């Protein structure tokens, strides 16, 4: 896919460091929008955001100020010299945003889930040269996220980036939206797309913003989108996760930005050596797992001949218990150990099922 990198979007901003998009969740009043934007600009933001049309979970919440908020953002842009971005969810939003010279559009998580909406927006942008940032869909579906990029690619949009804002889950957890970092990492591997992390919507609260933003920087994300409001506790939407421009500034200061690589030869040769070692260990692990599966298949054959079911719960509980203890005493995390053991067990069952049913392994 042909993708134009952020540094070539013609924005006139510093892209030698991670880009930082900030501003309030929603534009509420002219004063609040302009002051919040001036505040974050002073603290180091280089793109300004504000939600104009707000997709709320239930009716009755503040659903955005609408068109009249666009000139407020434009004023903030004029006063700071920074580009502005808004969320668009239908063709009418696109029309209004373009009329008001919005510099960058973004597609919200609740829109990315719906191919009809994405297509409508893409169609409205045919022949328009504007950057589009696409948030991940609410549900952890990599293909749906990729599909959105493909729809814009087909109408000729090449200036694209992804925004990782986490994935909804039914359970209340530490996060408002689970990061599931493996999904943005896989998107970037497949599309070679630049990645902006939105810690505000992942965390849902101020306290953990820094930790998530730091993780994104450690994973070499190209930017951050962080909601900031001049008086966050009084915000009309997402109050708990917004920070004052000053706190936003401190967060940026506290971030450690590491280089993605270096020219230092001593460091590089040591890194090469360690990676070589890891490559070898990975090969050995795969060989050992394959050996373990040979044995599982052998057991499967015996079970088949003796007409015994594949799963014996007491054996599995026993294995799990012993291996978990062993893994923990070897310094592995319980989360990893449990997932690993369950996956090994699933694969054993798959292998034995293939034997029992005399089917191909990939079809189990
Ligand atoms: C937002 O950025 O204010 C927003 C509505 O985000 P999301 O689409 O990630 O929920
Ligand atoms: Mn928000």
Give tens-digit pLDDT for 3-28: 999 999 999 999 999 999 999 999 99
**Local structure of residue 234 (DSSP, 8 states):** G
C-alpha 136 – ligand 1 centre gap (Å):
10
Closest CA to 36 of 230, 289, 291: 230
Write the pLDDT tens digit of every residue in 173-213: 889 999 999 999 999 999 999 999 999 999 999 999 999 99
* Atom number in ligand 1 closest to CA 201: 9
Q: Provide the mean pLDDT of the chain.
A: 95
Could you tell me which residues are beta bridge partners of residue 133?
Answer: 106, 161
User: Which residues approach ligand 1 with their CB closer than 6 A?
Assistant: 25, 51, 55, 108-110, 135, 165, 201
Percentage, residues of the chain above pLDDT 70: 100
Please enumerate in sequence order all residues whose Cβ is within 8 A of that of 332, keeping only pairs 6 or more positions apart, or say none.
none
Write the pLDDT tens digit of every residue in 97-138: 999 999 999 999 999 999 999 999 999 999 999 999 999 999
If residue 105 lies in a helix (H) or strand (E), which one and from where to where?
strand 104-107
CB atoms within 10 A of CB 290: 9
Give CA–CA dist 143/148, Å, rounded. 9
Predicted TM-score of the model (pTM): 0.80
Please enumerate in sequence order all residues whose Cβ is within 8 A of that of 353, keeping only pairs 6 or more positions apart, or say none.
300, 310, 359, 364
* Atom number in ligand 1 closest to CA 237: 3
Which residue's CA lies nearest to atom 8 of ligand 1?
108
Residue 261 is predicted with a pLDDT of 78
* Atom number in ligand 1 closest to CA 108: 8
Q: Looking at the CA of 50, which ligand is closest?
A: 1
C-alpha 304 – ligand 2 centre gap (Å):
56
């Amino acid at each position: 896919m042909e993708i134009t990198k952020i540094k070539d979007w013609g924005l006139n901003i510093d892209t030698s460091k991670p880009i930082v998009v900030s501003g309030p969740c929603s534009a509420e009043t002219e004063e609040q929008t302009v002051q919040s934007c001036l505040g974050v600009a002073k603290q180091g933001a280089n793109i300004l955001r504000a939600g104009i049309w707000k997709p709320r979970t239930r009716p009755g919440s503040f659903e955005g100020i609408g068109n009249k908020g666009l000139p407020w953002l434009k004023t903030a842009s004029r006063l700071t010299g920074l580009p502005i971005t808004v969320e668009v969810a239908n063709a009418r939003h696109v029309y209004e945003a373009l009329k008001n010279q919005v510099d960058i559009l973004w597609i919200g998580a609740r829109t990315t889930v719906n191919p009809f909406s994405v297509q409508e927006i893409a169609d409205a942008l045919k022949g328009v040269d504007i950057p589009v940032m696409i948030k991940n869909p609410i549900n952890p579906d990599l293909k749906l996220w990729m599909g959105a990029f493909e729809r814009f690619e087909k109408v000729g949009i090449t200036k694209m980036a992804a925004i990782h804002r986490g994935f909804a889950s039914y359970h209340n957890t530490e996060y408002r939206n689970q990061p599931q970092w493996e999904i943005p990492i896989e998107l970037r591997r497949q599309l070679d797309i630049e990645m902006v992390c939105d810690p505000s919507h992942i965390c849902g609260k101020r306290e953990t913003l820094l930790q998530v933003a730091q993780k994104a920087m450690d994973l070499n994300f190209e930017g951050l989108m962080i909601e900031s409001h001049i008086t966050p506790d009084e915000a009309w939407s997402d109050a708990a996760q917004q920070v004052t421009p000053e706190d936003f500034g401190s967060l940026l200061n506290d971030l450690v930005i590491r280089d993605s690589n270096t020219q230092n030869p001593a460091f590089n040769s040591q890194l090469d050596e360690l990676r070589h070692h890891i490559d070898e260990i990975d090969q050995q692990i795969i060989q050992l797992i394959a050996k373990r599966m040979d044995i599982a298949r052998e057991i499967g054959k015996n079970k088949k001949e003796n007409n015994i079911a594949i799963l014996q719960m007491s054996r599995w509980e026993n294995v799990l218990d012993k291996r978990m203890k062993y893994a923990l005493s070897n310094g592995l995390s319980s989360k990893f150990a449990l997932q690993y053991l369950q996956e090994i067990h699933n694969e054993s069952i798959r292998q034995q099922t293939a034997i029992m049913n005399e089917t191909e392994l990939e079809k189990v």
